[in-house]
Amino acid sequence: MANLVIVESPSKATAIKKYLGSNYKVIASKGHVRDLPKSSLSVDLENGFEAHYINIRGKGDLIKEIRKEAKAAKKVFLAPDPDREGEAIAWHLANALGLDPAKTLRVSFNEITPDVVRAAIKEPRAIDMNLVNAQQTRRIWDRVVGYKLSPYLWKAVKNGLSAGRVQSVAARIIVDREDEIRAFVPEEYWTVDARLEGGDGKEFSVRFYGTEQGKEKLSCEADADKVVKAVSGKSFRVAGVKRASRQKLPAPPFTTSTMQQEASRKLGFQSQRIMRVAQELYEGINIGTENGGVQGLITYMRTDSLRVSAEAQSAARELIVTKYGEGYCPEKPRVYKTRANAQDAHEAIRPSHVDLEPAKIHKYLTPDQYRLYKLIWERFVASQMQSATLNTLSVELECEGYLFRAGGYSVAFPGYMAVYEESEDEEVRTADTIHEEKDIRIPELAEGESVALLGVDPARHFTEPPARYTEASLIKFLDEKGIGRPSTYNTIITIIVSRNYVVRDGKSLVPTPLGEVTTRLMKESFSDIVDYAFTAQMEDQLDEIEKGNTDMVSVLDPFWKNFSAALERAETTIGKGSFELPVEETDIICDKCGAKMVVKNGRYGKFAACPNYPTCRNTKPLTEKSEEPVVQEPEKKVEKKPPVIADFKCEKCGADMVQRSGRYGSFFACSRYPECNFTKQKTKELDVPCPKCGSKILIKTGRNKTVFYSCEKYPTCDFSSWDMPIGESCPNCGKPLFRKKGKALVVCHEKDCDYKREGEDVATDKKA
């Protein structure tokens, strides 16, 4: 009788099965098996907030299969991810399957490697109900806010809106920043740079600082002209030269938050993409038999901790000495202090095996996996390296009582910078902004030395408004304020974008009119829900439940009393506030009253309506344009264009091939037709290999001008598909993955495999 191990992901199941051997059967629950139903609140607000869960639709067969395996098993190990959500999945599994508590054991893996998996199986534990209740409280909180608040938004703003406990706060953050930008008044300021000639004949530059009394701001052209006139034609005296050396410490290893910020800045990934790829790296990838086969490449990617195991530190130090030299390895391992309110259950994000260098396993990873793994590997290795040594230089020169300064640094010893340098958010220009120049070039100067002036350059500037939030800077703000948890940031951003409260403009997040109106309503009627401090306090209460210091009812009861009172007050004010969305005008002219028609939403979508309703009730489809007199143009003679000659010859007779049009689109035909009837379809190549034989894939046009994909060696190789092969292998079964036609959805075609995921940045299908 074998033991049963139940994990969340099929790809994780493959790796764990390999490590545990024939005495264990590993099966995947594919996420949650129970949840609150979508059709009702399903929370008893009057009786201790009891939640009424149901089995998730579509998982009945899977639950039956797992129940059958559990009954036959000697022991059942519940092994979902090691966090609140994973603990809740384990609890729901135990309930849905009717598992015997005496033989149901909870195990968790911080990394999917043989030693860690086997050690965890040897030390199982009971389900931690504190963790489960923390997750339940969050789920009930979100359900109550969403189901009670959304109908109010329907009445006050428009149908179909929804509100969320943390999403509403995130939308407010972006709206508040937009308000700051609109209210910003640019301030004029001036700079004056003096170009000087050193003793070696080389030119260098210094900037006006002030006087001996301190820093002085040049607010207008007159202030700048005063300085320019005073120093023009004069020589400068070196008032001071300071040379020093300073140490620059490496950044700590990644937490979930810092990984999302850095991957957004350096790789340009959206948070959803970052977490999906990190999950793949954690669950396990086949990196070849020479590297141990299927391996989890990183530790668990949902963590607030900066803690690193002694074994990982030792392995990193050994690699640093071997690869970079003893001078790059500090005397003692580096230890980073985790902040006070962080959840320290798991280590920082690091490579499971630091000796698996990115270049060594590059060929086994997708481009996204390689880039994120490389970032995590470099950050971790750098975090255990010696500090960088920087030589700093600052000079101060005086002329006519005015002081000019320049400063910068050069790298004397790179230390950790030989591997990795942390990126930073873009700075906003202000009158006080001073940039330290890297590798500054200033000649040897001695105090009291006289330096010749080559020219003076005044320049006008304006202060800039605060920058809009990017995903990286929004995540940083949420993390600093304690709003939400790092594991939920990508979900928060995805929701506010999908609900059209926010749109992406390049990397920036910009509020929509809908987002601004909804946020204004929330601030006026439900200020607690969108209050930064209140939301952070709620997260702290979830942490207290997890620690066992309080319980679910004690947290939810006072919240519900205050929230229900706010709902009652808000119901009395519906219609009194101005929460109408801005009107979207069209170019269509109403043919009854002459007004410009506006866009309205109906049960069948958008349509054009007269703005003078109800006086004028005229409506039109948005595709219909205003009726205008048609000007009959004289018939033009169409000149026959010369045929397009292909860059290849006829395979039968060697004559030129020319482009023709047929019922299925363009094709090439022999120019000697009808003497020679050879034809060849016009195709484009897809930059992925054929899933069957590895040859080129051609993009072809079939009946009704629809696109399909076929092997260039057809009919020798009979591969063809309406869905586009993407050159990746399924993480479940290893078969090729395809993008569904006309959809941003990636699926596996294997009959018994149900793998699918959302695609990103996918262009629509076009005629070949």
The predicted-structure confidence for 236-277, as pLDDT tens digits, reads as follows: 999 999 999 999 999 999 999 999 999 999 999 999 999 999
Neighbour-count burial for 620-648, b at 16+ CB within 10 Å, e otherwise: beeeeeeeeeeeeeeeeeeeeeeeeebee
- Per CATH, the number for 3-127 is 3.40.50.140
Q: In the chain, where are the structural domains located? A: 3-127, 150-183+470-573, 188-249+388-462, 261-383, 585-620, 645-758
The Cβ-side half-sphere exposure at 46, using a 13 Å CA radius, reads 0
Q: Count CA atoms closer than 13 A to 741's CA, side-chain side.
A: 10
Model confidence at 630, in pLDDT bands (50, 70, 90)? very low
Residue 280's pLDDT band, with cuts at 50, 70 and 90, is: very high
Question: What's the longest Cα–Cα distance across the chain?
Answer: 97
For 163, what's the count of Cα atoms within 13 Å in the CB-facing half-sphere? 30
Side by side, which strands form the sheet with 696-701? 684-689, 696-701, 707-711, 720-721
CA gap 22, 17 in Å, rounded: 8
CATH H superfamily, domain 188-249+388-462: Topoisomerase I, domain 3 (2.70.20.10)
pTM, entire model? 0.72
**Chain Cα centroid distance, residue 108:** 26
If you ran DSSP here, which 8-state letter would residue 332 be given?
Answer: S
Task: Please state, in angstroms and as integers, the Cα–Cα distance from residue 496 to each residue in 23, 490, 492, following that order.
Answer: 47, 10, 6
In angstroms, the CA 337 to CA 305 distance is 9
pLDDT digits (tens, 9 = 90+) for 32-48: 999 999 888 999 998 89
DSSP β-ladder status, 34-35 and 203-211: unpaired
Residue 647, token pair as written in the block: 């860059």
Superfamily holding 261-383: Topoisomerase I, domain 4 (1.10.290.10)
Q: Which residue among 19, 300, 370, 501 is the active-site one?
A: 300
Place of tokens 């942390």: 422
Give the residue-averaged pLDDT of 266-291: 91
> Cα separation of 261 and 251, whole Å?
13
pLDDT band, residue 732 (cuts 50/70/90): confident
Own/partner long-range contacts of 114-122 (Cβ < 8 Å, ≥24 apart)? 114/19, 117/16, 117/19, 117/20, 118/19, 118/20, 120/79, 121/5, 121/20, 121/24, 121/77
> What's at 248, amino acid-wise?
K
- d(CA 498, CA 20) in angstroms, rounded, equals 42
Task: Determine the Cα–Cα distance for residues 540 and 548; give it in Å rounded to an integer.
Answer: 13
Residues 45, 73: contact at Cβ < 8 Å?
Answer: no
Summarised one tens digit per residue, pLDDT across range 563-602 is 999 888 888 776 555 566 677 778 889 888 888 888 886 6
Cα(159)–Cα(664) distance, integer angstroms? 44
Give the range with max mean pLDDT: 374-378, 423-427, 560-564, 706-710. 374-378
- Residue range 401-442, pLDDT digits in tens: 999 999 888 889 999 999 998 877 655 555 555 445 666 778
Kindly state the average pLDDT of the residues 445-450: 90
Active site residue 300: yes
User: Is the model's pLDDT at 329 over the cut of 90?
Assistant: yes
How high is the pLDDT of residue 761? 43
Q: What was the pLDDT predicted at 638?
A: 46
Asked whether the predicted pLDDT for residue 738 surpasses 90, the reply is no
pLDDT digit string, tens, across residues 170-202: 999 999 999 999 999 999 999 999 999 987 788
Q: Which residues pair with 196 in a beta bridge?
A: 204, 453
Domain 150-183+470-573, second-level architecture: Orthogonal Bundle (1.10)
- Tell me the backbone φ, ψ of residue 375, rounded to 5 degrees: -65, -45
Average pLDDT, stretch 57-69?
90
pLDDT, tens only, 151-169: 888 877 777 777 788 889 9
Burial of 266 from C-beta contacts in 10 A (0-12 / 13-18 / 19+): middle
**Residue 345 to residue 305: CA distance in whole angstroms:** 8
pLDDT the model gives residue 294: 86
Virtual CA dihedral for 33, 36, 39, 44, nearest 10 degrees?
A: 150
Distance CA 140, CA 352 (A): 35
Rounded to whole angstroms, how far apart are CA atoms 441 and 89? 60
Question: 637 pLDDT exceeds 50?
Answer: no
**Confidence (pLDDT) at 437:** 61
Residue 67's H or E segment, with its range, is helix 60-72
Task: Tell me the two tokens of residue 627.
Answer: 């009726």
pLDDT at residue 763 in the model? 41
Question: Residue 340: what pLDDT?
Answer: 67
Q: Which residues make beta-bridge pairs with 668? A: 659, 680
Provide the pLDDT confidence category of residue 665 given band limits of 50, 70 and 90: low
The tokens of 321 are what? 């000495």
- Mean pLDDT of the region 533-559: 92
- Higher-pLDDT residue of 296, 707: 296
Q: What is the residue-averaged pLDDT of the chain?
A: 85
